[in-house]
Structure 1
Amino acid sequence: MSDPARQAPEFPAWPQFDEAERAGLIRALEQGQWWRNGGSEVDTFEREFAAYHGSPYALAVTNGTHALELALEVLGVGPGTEVIVPAFTFISSSQAAQRLGAVAVPVDVDPETYCIDVAAAEAAITPRTRAIMPVHMAGHFSDMDALEKLSADSGVRLIQDAAHAHGAQWQGKRVGELGSVAAFSFQNGKLMTAGEGGAVTFPESELYEEAFLRHSCGRPRDDRTYRHRTSGSNFRLNEFSASVLRAQLARLDGQIETRELRWPLLADLLAEIPGVIPQGRDRRADRNPHYMAMFRIPGITEERRNALVDALIERGLPAFAAFRAIYRCDGFWETAAPSESVDDIARRCPNSEAINADCVWLHHRTLLGTERQMHDIATIVADTLAEA
């Protein structure tokens, strides 16, 4: 039984909402049309989201996994092609490619930022490679300078998995200003949310227009005679979700500012705990929205790490074990898997293999707490680790 005196104080709730969401839902309700082809909320949200991220085009979709799948599809990913993905990521990064029939090729990540290792990505390129998918892990940008050079030199397109990176910046540039397609998620735990939802930003009108068709069963906006121009599916976002996301977007900047203030303090406090190493930061990633507060405990076993997470939850911290390396998930091997074995991939992905076992993350709502709470978090982690 844990000591109540050592329980974490109550952190801000998530999701957050106020009268802005309520007003948006009523606005969507009373407009009389609840889907995007008759209402105005989705169209307006797309313009606002695109402008916020410095992109000429944004397309709202049903969820972040569909955002990745649609983005890959318009870049020509399908059977006979390969997509390079980080081995350490949420499995949607690979399954979006695999569900299109493409082989997902896992490569290792940087041990400090947990983002894709560019040299490993370069080594994995073959004549079948159609896309490289950097994941901006926990809101920290991948090395976009090196990736953009690799893309230019190889002719392989980039697709940014920005599910964690709403409002992030790389050397002052927003996600949509980097010249590549990017996919976002609005799942319940994300930095802005409508429970579910996603978006894709596009640098080119041609890609955007094709994506619009494919996200709406191949049907043009003004079609009245069912002339489906492409294959596709129904990935359309509804008006109610879009109205909520407009309110969420409006408060995102203030939340990022708070998390950017809190993380350096918490990271310093965690770094003082013997054996704990917080996620590192490349200073070129000059705005990080901090989707997760991540730290590693090198040398800990996966079983002990999992027990530590359970103990942190018992003491009031919203703690989680890190993602499993995608090649260690059964679902990765179900379809369009590489010809390598698990052990083959593990040998060439030592950093992902280690992070898979020794990393812990805290929900971003902890970073919306007070300075005092950052000290409380560090104390609880130190005490719990000492007992684990």
Structure 2
Amino acid sequence: MTASPRPAPEFPAWPQYSDEERTGLIRALEQGQWWRIGGSEVDSFEHEFASYHGADHALAVTNGTHALELALEVLGVGPGTEVVVPAFTFISSSQAAQRLGAVAVPVDVDPGTYNIDPAAAAAAITPRTKAIMPVHMAGLVADLDALAKLSADSGVPLLQDAAHAHGARWQGKRIGELGSVAAFSFQNGKLMTAGEGGAVLFPDEGLYEQGFLRHSCGRPRTDRGYFHRTSGSNFRLNEFSAGVLRAQLKRLDSQIDTRERRWPVLRELLAAIPGVVPQGGDDRADRNPHYMAMFRVPGIGEERRNSLVDELVARGLPAFAAFRAVYRTDAFWETGAPAETVDELAERCPHAEAITTDTVWLHHRTLLASEQDIRDTAAIVADAVAGL
């Protein structure tokens, strides 16, 4: 492929910040208490984040992976248990379970939405299953009607991996109004960020109190005698990160509005390119924050897909190859892997196998650009695909 004369679109920088973040950092600095016990920024952020998502309780933690690990621990996951995860997801979804000594059980995903297939999840449940973890891929909420029924019928709780889904809705309900625990990430590329960070939404006070204890080494908030009530670790978020996140939360809605306007334009343009299939949607997911703009080129194969990504990057697009199926990484097999072989898992996860090799995603700042930049983006994709 040769370089295109088409000029690269002008995408906004990420992360975005303003005097709001500076004010938050100074506020945290000048309060004189820089950790959450004694400071006020983390407490304030938790209240604001919970309120924004319609949840009763939020617990801020060190990162999104720790958010998943902590949530799973609160739900009773540990050695000898199993957690059902989508085969197509970032590795943290499976590693959070494996770090607790549990077995991560990968199941297939829908070929259009890339979200966990409820029927595949149902088939994977055993008496050892302690949690089902739908991942809201690229911000598109998974089929929570079917998954909530599965949870109710089986007695296995859901843990929403909402690392991509800040501000998302399902049939008018926010993530915190859907009755299950949800975990978020604030890593540098996420929809709101402090470089790192995470949060867990809890639907009731009992689970929240367990989470608080475990995220603070098992120590109650008012303890002065080192009476650690449970096992745990130090997953506490610092005050400076919380000050930044409070500012990030304030601009999230307007950014989602922009991406919601831009994605239909880009989707239509991508769908018109021969061989390109953009990520599908679900009308019940009535607010999608669009963490990624994803599309498939079915049949392209991993090597040519990777060449396509390289070409898009060379032409100025923030393009990436899709996640590798979790069982196609060495890390997955180190601990907490199921009894099946790679080939056996691949056979029962054909859609995850295909998506792993033929999918490209564009960073969400693409969808914060102008409509003309969106059109230029699609034109660059069309040029690059035609040149394969």
The answer to whether TM tops 0.5 is yes
CA distance in 1 between partners of 2:102 and 2:120 (Å): 19
CA distance in 2 between partners of 1:285 and 1:245 (Å): 25
Q: Work out whether 1:139 is the aligned partner of 2:134.
A: no
Residue equivalent to 1:281: 281
Residue equivalent to 2:308: 308
Deviation for aligned residue 1:4? 6.4
- The amino acid across from 1:201 in the alignment is L
Residue equivalent to 1:263: 263
Matches within 5 A, 1:356-371: 356-371=356-371
CA distance in 2 between partners of 1:362 and 1:168 (Å): 19
Deviation for aligned residue 1:387? 1.2
Residue equivalent to 1:170: 170
Deviation for aligned residue 1:8? 1.6
CA distance in 1 between partners of 2:301 and 2:48 (Å): 45
1:160-191 Cα distance to aligned partner (Å, 9 max, x none) = 00000000000000000000000000000000
CA distance in 2 between partners of 1:30 and 1:106 (Å): 47
CA RMSD of aligned residues (A): 0.8
Partner SS for 1:106: strand
Q: Quick check: 2:82–2:129 contact (8 Å CA) kept in 1?
A: yes
Q: Quick check: 1:194–1:245 contact (8 Å CA) kept in 2?
A: yes
Residue equivalent to 1:94: 94
1:269-319 Cα distance to aligned partner (Å, 9 max, x none) = 000000000000010000000000000000001000001000100000000
Matches within 5 A, 1:182-221: 182-221=182-221
Structure 1 range deviating more: 232-241 or 8-17: 8-17
CA distance in 1 between partners of 2:89 and 2:373 (Å): 28
Residue equivalent to 2:157: 157
Deviation for aligned residue 1:3? 4.2
> Structure 2: where are the runs of 5+ without partners?
none
CA distance in 2 between partners of 1:251 and 1:46 (Å): 16
Matches within 5 A, 1:221-370: 221-370=221-370
Q: Is the alpha carbon distance of 1:4 and 1:22 closer, same or farther for their aligned partners in structure 2, counting shifts above 3 Å? A: farther
Residue equivalent to 1:67: 67
Q: Quick check: 2:136–2:160 contact (8 Å CA) kept in 1?
A: yes
Q: Quick check: 2:9–2:377 contact (8 Å CA) kept in 1?
A: no
Runs of 4+ aligned residues of structure 1 deviating over 6 Å after TM superposition are none
Deviation for aligned residue 1:5? 3.1
- The amino acid across from 2:308 in the alignment is L
1:294-347 Cα distance to aligned partner (Å, 9 max, x none) = 000000010000010001000000000000000001000000100000000000
Q: Quick check: 1:2–1:315 contact (8 Å CA) kept in 2?
A: no
CA distance in 2 between partners of 1:5 and 1:374 (Å): 17
Deviation for aligned residue 1:126? 0.5
Residue equivalent to 1:46: 46
Q: Quick check: 1:2–1:314 contact (8 Å CA) kept in 2?
A: no
Residue equivalent to 2:107: 107
- The amino acid across from 1:28 in the alignment is A
- The amino acid across from 2:104 in the alignment is A
Aligned-pair identity in percent equals: 78
- The amino acid across from 2:199 in the alignment is A
Aligned length: 388
Partner SS for 1:24: helix
Partner SS for 1:237: coil
Q: Quick check: 1:94–1:104 contact (8 Å CA) kept in 2?
A: yes
1:38-84 Cα distance to aligned partner (Å, 9 max, x none) = 11000000000000000000000000000000000000000010000
- The amino acid across from 2:115 in the alignment is C
Q: Quick check: 1:184–1:200 contact (8 Å CA) kept in 2?
A: yes
Residue equivalent to 1:24: 24
Partner SS for 2:158: strand
Deviation for aligned residue 1:7? 3.4
CA distance in 2 between partners of 1:105 and 1:91 (Å): 13
CA distance in 1 between partners of 2:115 and 2:218 (Å): 35
